[in-house]
Amino acid sequence: MATVLITGASSGLGAEFAWQLATARHDLVIVARSRDRLDELATSIRSAAGVSVEVLAADLGVESDLERVATRLADASSPISLLVNNAGYGSGRSFLANDWATEKAMIDVMVTAPARLAHAALPGMVARGHGAILNVSSVAAHLANSTYAAHKRWLLDFTHALAGTLAGTGVSASVVIPGLTRTRFHDSPELSHYHDAFPSAAWLSPEDVVTAALAGLRRRTVVVTPSARYRVVGVVARSVPRSVTRRTSAVRRRGRE
Ligand SMILES: NC(=O)c1ccc[n+]([C@@H]2O[C@H](COP(=O)([O-])OP(=O)(O)OC[C@H]3O[C@@H](n4cnc5c(N)ncnc54)[C@H](OP(=O)(O)O)[C@@H]3O)[C@@H](O)[C@H]2O)c1
């Protein structure tokens, strides 16, 4: 049975990846900071799906914790066949309003950690001739309106680079581009206004996002955008000149400071 390591598995999309992959008979290693939530999820999944679930409590913004997760990924005695780089969050404030520690933590969790973990996982996957990396980006990757968008853009471009590098190895790289999804992501005071700002039709369910992501992964699709409506949003957003999307950064900054 193949083993999957999922970051940010304590809630939202990560927990949904855990449930769907366990239902498909994969053993799991689940990673996040909240050990209690991970333990609770592990207990439920073990009893419902009968698979093995390892809990790895780690803050991906802390180098020693990140290295513990990297060491687990590189452990040839218990190989990982799929790495889901899912952990992430938005600060809801502009670059100018954030202190450096906040900005650096976002880079650590959403840029450095996915790169480090892919770097740890890939040598074993390539040597075995099979495996996959699945990165969770965002529709924000198509916009140039926040550092969060820039990190998610990096993850999209990083996946393209990996997919090219991995051609012919038997190992694949995919990225999923979710639109607004009902998780804990928008529960912070800085982001809670999203719940009222967007109509219910704009919101996706974690179940649908993860189902589409895993179907794309099985087909080895490099870029997976769940739902027709967000595929349209992606096409439109990519056609808008950067000079226009840049202006939305200034509007957001004035609104949030
Ligand atoms: N929801 C949306 O509308 C949406 C849209 C596009 C993309 N996304 C992306 O989807 C991914 C999952 O987010 P979600 O919507 O499922 O939100 P969520 O419910 O808030 O889940 C975020 C997960 O990331 C983990 N995490 C955050 N900081 C971490 C850190 N320093 N170290 C380790 N784990 C950390 C959290 O666990 P702990 O707090 O326990 O550490 C949690 O498990 C993120 O990358 C997000 O950017 C979300």
C-alpha closest to that of 231 among 241, 221, 244: 221
d(CA 110, CA 137) in angstroms, rounded, equals 9
Ligand 1 proximal residues by C-beta, below 6 Å:
7-14, 32-34, 37, 59-61, 86-89, 109, 136, 138, 178, 180-181, 183-185
Distance from the alpha carbon of residue 128 to the mean position of ligand 1, in angstroms: 30
C-alpha closest to that of 10 among 52, 56, 48, 46: 56
Distance from the alpha carbon of residue 183 to the mean position of ligand 1, in angstroms: 8
* Under 8 Å between Cβ of 31 and 9: yes
Angle subtended at Cα 229 by Cα 226 and Cα 232, rounded to the nearest 5 degrees: 100
d(CA 145, CA 102) in angstroms, rounded, equals 17
Which residue's alpha carbon is nearest to atom 41 within ligand 1?
33
**Helix ranges, the chain (H):** 12-23, 35-49, 63-73, 100-107, 113-128, 147-166, 194-197, 206-218, 228-239, 242-256
Q: Which atom of ligand 1 is nearest to the CA of 137?
A: 7
Q: What is this structure's pTM? A: 0.96
Q: Set out the domains of the chain in order of their start, with CATH numbers.
A: 3-256 (3.40.50.720)
Distance from the alpha carbon of residue 230 to the mean position of ligand 1, in angstroms: 19
Distance from the alpha carbon of residue 87 to the mean position of ligand 1, in angstroms: 4
Collapsed DSSP state (helix, strand, coil) of residue 176: strand
C-alpha closest to that of 87 among 147, 151, 41, 143: 151
If one residue of 63, 69, 185, 205 were mutated to test the ligand 1 pocket, choosing by the most ligand atoms within 8 A of its CB, it would be 185
d(CA 90, CA 151) in angstroms, rounded, equals 10
Q: Which two tokens stand for residue 71?
A: 């060491």
Q: What is the pLDDT along the chain (257 residues), one digit of tens a residue?
A: 699 999 999 999 999 999 999 999 999 999 999 999 999 999 999 999 999 999 999 999 999 999 999 999 999 999 999 999 999 999 999 999 999 999 999 999 999 999 999 999 999 999 999 999 999 999 999 998 899 999 999 999 999 999 999 999 999 999 999 999 999 999 999 999 999 899 999 999 999 999 999 999 999 999 999 999 999 999 998 888 888 877 776 666 565 54
